[in-house]
């Protein structure tokens, strides 16, 4: 909660130091829509400083932004000239052709951008990324030491460590995981990636998860749940974080954006916080890449925005994601912005990325696969059906959805 004040103060500082109304834009209407969390508040706060002198900048942040953005950008003129999105939400815009290529605008106004920030699809820059995120390993150093095990780098070691902790009576449920709803689908995707699995037959939308790797993925997830609180199917990130801060858990695969929250001097004891460490997501089944998916947040510009508005929006957003903004809000996120200095809380995300973890697939039909996974593997984890049956159900649910969307 303190973080929010820091950010507010920091964005004020940015406002006062760089505030020259209009940011050199003469005219245009800039309408920013996005999710509502501190890093985006920092970006949109800095962008808002361009308001005035002929250009109007309005910001509308909403927790459910992803549910309204397609309708908002389909309208002509678009309700929002820019939508702040992540890699999964960009697919929704791409599927309907609602984002415009940014190459010309970057050539004119985007000299500060790093090459890695440009999200390029088929040779055209469709979005500009400004922060990264990923689920990675959180571990309790003191507990691992007491159990006499090292920092696990594979899921097999995670299981061994959990067993050691439990056998020593240090904790009843040493592992926690985000295993409810959408999160469960993502855990499956992460683990299946880790096993080197492919979700689709190459070049098509035909599912291909009902195979040995899929079964191994489910078996590993089930093995992990044996060391989790029996309520694991209701655990979202909030529950995992609360369990972590209460000191009930020694190992978890949680979002990098929560690393700051578990070490912020609130909600936990100094002992737990000082022993909370971050590392790359573990690998699994002898494969080399971490079993996680990498995410970015960035902005895209609406196709249904006029040329002048699009240009004004781009310049405004470049001010929003300026190096000064990143420097003033170092704690808010692992910024991808030039000159941003990695913080200790970013260690896990960086290590996972360096370890070769894959980005969350930007396939038009990935969302259908994700939803199907969230819903259909529950029965297996509850012990009601076999892994093969769960995977067959997953494929069947996906096929029905993909047919309706016209992918099959």
Partner 1 sequence: MPHRTFISFIWPSALAMMLFIALPIISVAIQSLYIQHEQVIETVKNCGPFGCTESVVVNVEATEKIRAEQPLGRFNALGTYTNRNHLAFAEIAAAWKASANWSGFFAAITNLPFYKALFFTLSYTLVVTPLVILLGFFVALAVNRLPSIFKGPTIFFSLLPMIVTPLIGSLILFWMIDAKGIIGGSLQLLFDDPDLSLKASPTLTWITLFVYGVWHHAPFAFVVFYAGLQTVPKDILESAMIDGANRWQQIRHVVIPHLIPLGVFIALIQLMDNFRVFEPIVGFNASASATSLSWIIYNDLRTGDGTTLFGSAAATSMLTILGVAILLAPVLIRAWRANQRMA
Partner 2 sequence: MARTVPTWLSILSLGFLVLWLLLAAFPFFWTLWGSFKVEADFFSKQNWTNAIFGVRTLAETGAHYTGAGYEGAWIKEEFWKASINTLVMTISVVAISLTLGTLGGYALSRSPFRYAFWILIIALVFRAMPHITLVSGYLFPFFELNLWGHLTTTIIVMVAINQPFTLWMLHSFFLNIPKDLDESALVDGCTRFQAFRYVIIPVMWPGVITTGLFSFLLAYNDFALTGLLLTEENQTMVPAIAGFLGSTQQQGNVMYAVAAVVSATAPLFVLVMFFQRQIVSGLTAGAVKG
The residue (of 100 and 178) whose beta carbon lies closer to partner 2 is 178
Q: Which long-range contacts (CB under 8 A, 24 or more apart) does 226-230 make?
A: 227/159, 227/162, 227/163, 227/166, 227/173, 227/174, 227/175, 228/173, 228/175, 228/176, 228/177, 228/179, 229/173, 229/176, 230/173
**One of 87, 217, 257, 345 touching partner 2 (CB under 8 A):** 257
CB-based contacts of 68, cutoff 8 Å, min separation 6: 33, 62
Q: How far is the CB of 180 from partner 2 (least distance, A)?
A: 10
- Integer Cα distance of 205 and 366 in angstroms: 9
Shortest distance in whole angstroms from residue 221 CB to partner 1: 13
Q: In this structure, what DSSP letter does residue 32 have?
A: E
In the DSSP assignment, the letter for residue 123 is: T
Separation CA 347–CA 173 (nearest Å):
25
The answer to whether 261 contacts partner 2 (rule: CB under 8 A) is: yes
The C-alpha atoms of residue 55 and residue 24 are separated, in whole angstroms, by: 9
Select from partner 2, partner 1, none the partner in contact with residue 329, using the beta carbon and a kind-dependent cut-off of 5 to 8 Å.
none
| Binding positions for partner 2, 172-211, rule CB under 8 A | 178, 182-183
Give the residue with the Cβ less far from partner 1, 17 or 120: 120
The answer to the question of residue 88 lying near partner 1 (CB under 8 A) is: yes
Stretch of residues binding partner 1 (CB under 8 A), selected from 136-144, 156-164, 313-321, 391-399: 391-399
- Minimum CB separation from partner 2 for residue 258, in Å? 6
In whole angstroms, the minimum distance from the beta carbon of 273 to partner 2 comes to 12
383: exposed, middle or buried (Cβ count in 10 Å: 0-12, 13-18, 19+): exposed
Per-residue contact track with partner 1, 107 to 146, x per CB under 8 A?
---------xxxxxxxx-----x--x--------------
List the x/- string, 267-296, binding to partner 2 by CB under 8 A: xxx-------------------------x-
Chosen residue from 96, 112, 145, 266 binding partner 2 by CB under 8 A: 266
- Choose the one of partner 1, partner 2, none that binds residue 209, judging by a C-beta under 5 to 8 angstroms depending on kind: none
Residue with tokens 């309790």, as numbered in its chain? 140
Helix (H, G, I), strand (E, B) or coil at 131: strand
């Amino acid at each position: 909660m303190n973080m929010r004040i820091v950010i507010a103060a920091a964005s004020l500082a940015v406002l006062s130091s760089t505030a020259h109304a209009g940011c050199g834009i003469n005219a245009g209407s800039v309408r920013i829509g996005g999710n509502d969390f501190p890093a985006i508040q920092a970006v949109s706060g800095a962008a808002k400083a361009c308001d005035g002198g002929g250009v109007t900048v309005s910001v509308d942040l909403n927790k459910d932004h992803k549910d309204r953005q397609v309708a908002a950008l389909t309208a002509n003129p678009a309700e929002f000239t820019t939508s702040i999105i992540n890699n999964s939400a960009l697919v929704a815009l791409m599927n309907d052709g609602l984002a415009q290529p940014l190459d010309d605008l970057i050539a004119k106004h985007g000299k500060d951008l790093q090459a890695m920030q440009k999200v390029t699809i088929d040779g055209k820059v469709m979005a500009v990324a400004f922060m990264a995120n990923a689920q990675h390993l959180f571990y309790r150093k003191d507990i691992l030491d007491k159990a006499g095990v090292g920092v696990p780098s594979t899921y097999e070691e995670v299981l061994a460590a959990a067993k050691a902790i439990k056998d020593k009576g240090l904790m009843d449920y040493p592992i926690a995981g985000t295993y409810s709803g959408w999160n469960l689908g993502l855990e499956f995707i992460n683990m299946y990636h880790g096993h080197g699995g492919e979700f689709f037959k190459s070049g098509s939308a035909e599912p291909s998860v009902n195979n040995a790797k899929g079964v191994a993925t489910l078996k590993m997830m089930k093995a992990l749940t044996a060391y989790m609180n029996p309520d694991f199917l209701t655990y979202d990130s909030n529950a995992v974080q609360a369990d972590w801060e209460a000191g009930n858990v020694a190992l978890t695969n949680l979002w990098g954006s929560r690393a700051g929250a578990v070490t912020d001097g609130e909600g936990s004891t100094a002992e737990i916080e000082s022993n909370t460490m971050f590392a790359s997501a573990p690998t699994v089944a002898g494969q080399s890449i971490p079993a996680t998916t990498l995410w970015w947040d960035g902005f895209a510009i609406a196709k249904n925005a006029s040329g002048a508005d699009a240009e004004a929006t781009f310049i405004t957003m470049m001010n929003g994601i300026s190096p000064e903004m990143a420097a003033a809000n170092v704690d808010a996120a692992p910024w991808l912005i030039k000159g941003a200095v990695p913080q200790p809380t970013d260690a896990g995300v960086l290590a996972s990325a360096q370890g070769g973890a894959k980005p969350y697939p930007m396939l038009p039909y990935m969302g259908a696969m994700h939803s199907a996974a969230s819903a259909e593997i529950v029965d297996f984890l509850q012990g009601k059906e076999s892994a093969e049956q769960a995977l067959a159900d997953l494929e069947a649910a996906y096929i029905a959805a993909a047919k309706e969307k016209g992918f099959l």
